[in-house]
A and B are shown apart, each in its own frame.
Chain A
Amino acid sequence: MTPPPAMSVAERIRPVAVPAEAGDSKVNSDILRVMEGVSLRYFGLLAIVMLVVAWAAGVWALQVYQGLGLAGYSGPVFWGVYIVTFVFWIGIAHAGTLISAILYLLRAKWRNAINRSAEAMTVFAVLTAAQFLGLHVGRLWKAYFILPYPNQRGLWVNFKSPLLWDTFAISTYATISILFLYVGLIPDLAIARDRATGWRKLLYTALALGWQGTTRQWKSHTRSVLHLSGLATPLVLSVHSVVSWDFAMTIVPGWHATIFAPYFVAGAIFSGMAMVITVMVPVRRIYHLETYITEYHFENMAKFLLLTSWIVSYAYITEYFVAWYSGVEAEQSAFWLRAFGPYWISTWVMITCNSIIPQLLWFRRLRRHVPTLFVVATFVNIGMWFERYVIIITGLSREYDPAVWGVYTPTWAELSMLAGGFAFFAMLFIIFLKLFPVIAISEVKELAIHSRSHASEEAR
């Protein structure tokens, strides 16, 4: 049979019936809308947090000029608010990897609505935490001494020190978190690229790497996310374990405990989840994302809060029991002084916020009541900062010899840095909201298309 001429074939094949750009996905338009336009309120909020960051930067410059005396460090307490806040932010950084990696491996589909924002928070929290190490070392320009680099003195770093393990753990965590965030973003950047104009088009074209959603691309992407999840899961458990060993490897009463690693990891997940709730409640409301982040998502996060609150509370009880059961006087007095010594307020704030208030979440109505959950999560954030304050400050101020006991009070400079840390984190997140999709569009769409396909198959 003679094949028909090409033109007649082309004529017989119907032309495109629907214009290519017509009828964009609702998911695309709903989520990309968050990135469009900036209101006066947005600029106002950004200006406030930038002012606080600028203030903190000025105080940092003053500290570099005057020295660490500007902080309240005085014998015997040489780890103060900077280290407390460093541990706090590293803890916050754990929710992103928990939601993205562990829940991905467990195939918990509810994570799709919140994983992107949690991953971004992880990156921003690690960046914030790293600054507090810089603040704490004082002579920032010599911070590179911690890295093993060839030098004329012919000496290397001490790999037996937990502080060096921390350097490796935190830098690995920062790198993997950034990779995780970026790899997950690639398909969504392509969605934004296909719809953007001007400088945004250029930015997303460059970052999307020519992504077109071909089978080959999706297959390697899915596999990469799976592998990154597999790598990030033990990593997230190791990072806060290593941070806890900064304390547990010493012989300071109240620190030298084998329970520290799981206790810190549970606390990190607890505080990270609380921060995700604290941030996502206003974002959901301001940008009308109620369709995507529902009460069901908040209820699941609330259950996580309740579970980790109990793990943390169990650790508190265990610490007291071990101190009593050990018969070691220094341990017993350290824990007695935690509750009834000069820092008793911090301890009771910690217990109230982390162990008592979260018990409200036993009630389903309260778990699904977003304003209540927001308040509980905010208390948990406060309580978890105080937990680190209690562990670090009471531990150092009351060691073995009462002759060298002392009382530490944070100075205005340290409190400025604490505020600066929160403002820096907020600033990065506020900028992120306008540059990148805050919800993983392609993952949400996968669920939407699946349910649509099943519905149409059933209708047949």
Chain B
Amino acid sequence: MPSLLAVFDRPGSVAEVAHRLRNRGYADLEVYSPAAFPELDDVFDARPSRVRGWTFVGGLAGAVTGYALTIWMANDWQLMLGGKPFSSIPPYTVIAFELTILFGGLMTVLGLLVVGKLPSGRFGKRAKSYSARFSAEEFGLVVGCRERDLLEVDALLRDGDAKEVTLVEP
């Protein structure tokens, strides 16, 4: 299936056109953006990123590990200190807290890789439609469509403030 690549200057225009295309039933869309813009976040999926689940699971696992590790080890090798119980929760909370942060952080980064599908592509190869312009200050919108729809999509893109539209061969 061929696709059309449109180049824009403003993130708002990309978001508008992408919404219009989706309403017309064009689902094979991809946006390239040089920076993070909230208006583009919800173009394809309005739900919050699933990274939050990864962070939560990591944090919870860290807290549980922190308490389990300290309580088990203190009871496995019992060292009487100032008459304190072997399972002393207040000092172990420090360890549990640190491990909550550590595991939460590690799982957040793992979540970024999984949800963001990184690393993407083969080493050194990039998508045909991607170019260094999109890591400069321009925005790219790629629309995959049937050949007979190319003209309609082209018109929609140009109406939506695209400064260039080019055909990307499959």
Contact = CB atoms under 8 A, between A and B. Distances in A.
A194 B154 contact: no
B123 A206 contact: yes
Nearest to B166: A16
Contacts of A213: 32-35, 134-135
A23 B136 contact: yes
A234 B55 CA distance: 15
Interface string B64-93: 000001100110110101001000100110
A175 B105 CA distance: 9
Contact of B43 (A215, A235, A453): A215
Nearest to B118: A209
Nearest to A216: B116
Interface in B93-107: 94-95, 97-99, 101-102, 104-106
A51 to B, nearest CB: 36
Interface in A181-224: 182-183, 186-187, 190-191, 194-195, 205-206, 209-224
A387 to B, nearest CB: 24
A12 B151 contact: yes
B31 interface: yes
Contacts of B106: 175, 179
A168 interface: yes
A446 interface: yes
B27 interface: no
B101 A442 contact: no
Nearest to A241: B94
A159 B70 contact: yes
A176 B112 contact: no
A168 B98 contact: yes
Among A157, A195, A223, A452: residue with most chain B CB under 10 A: A223
Contacts of A38: none
A211 B101 contact: no
A206 to B, nearest CB: 7
Interface stretch (A1-9, A86-94, A262-270, A361-369): A1-9
B25 interface: no
B94 A175 contact: no
A285 interface: no
A308 B163 CA distance: 50
Contacts of B104: 227, 231
A13 B36 contact: no
A349 B167 CA distance: 70
A174 to B, nearest CB: 10
Interface string B132-152: 111111000000000110110
Given A168-B98, A453-B10, A24 B136 contact: yes
B90 to A, nearest CB: 9
A148 interface: yes
Contacts of B136: 23-25, 28
Contacts of A215: 30-31, 33, 40-41, 43-44
Nearest to A222: B36
Given A20-B131, A219-B49, A210 B121 contact: yes
B133 A21 contact: yes
A40 interface: no
Interface of A: 3-4, 6, 9-10, 12-18, 20-21, 23-25, 27-28, 148, 154-160, 164-165, 168-169, 171-172, 175-176, 179, 182-183, 186-187, 190-191, 194-195, 205-206, 209-224, 227-228, 231-232, 234-235, 238, 242, 442-443, 445-446, 448-450, 452-453, 456-457
15 contacts: A3-B147, A10-B167, A15-B166, A24-B132, A156-B74, A159-B74, A159-B91, A187-B35, A211-B118, A214-B30, A231-B55, A442-B36, A449-B34, A453-B11, A456-B9
Given A13-B150, A176-B105, A211-B120, 8 more contacts: A210-B119, A213-B135, A215-B30, A218-B41, A227-B104, A235-B98, A442-B35, A449-B11
Top 9 A-B pairs ranked by shortest CB distance?
A3-B148, A220-B116, A446-B35, A210-B120, A194-B132, A223-B49, A156-B73, A209-B119, A224-B112
Interface of B: 2, 4, 9-12, 30-37, 40-41, 43-45, 48-52, 55, 59, 69-70, 73-74, 76-77, 79, 81, 84, 88, 91-92, 94-95, 97-99, 101-102, 104-106, 108-109, 111-113, 115-121, 123-124, 126-127, 130-137, 147-148, 150-151, 154, 163-167
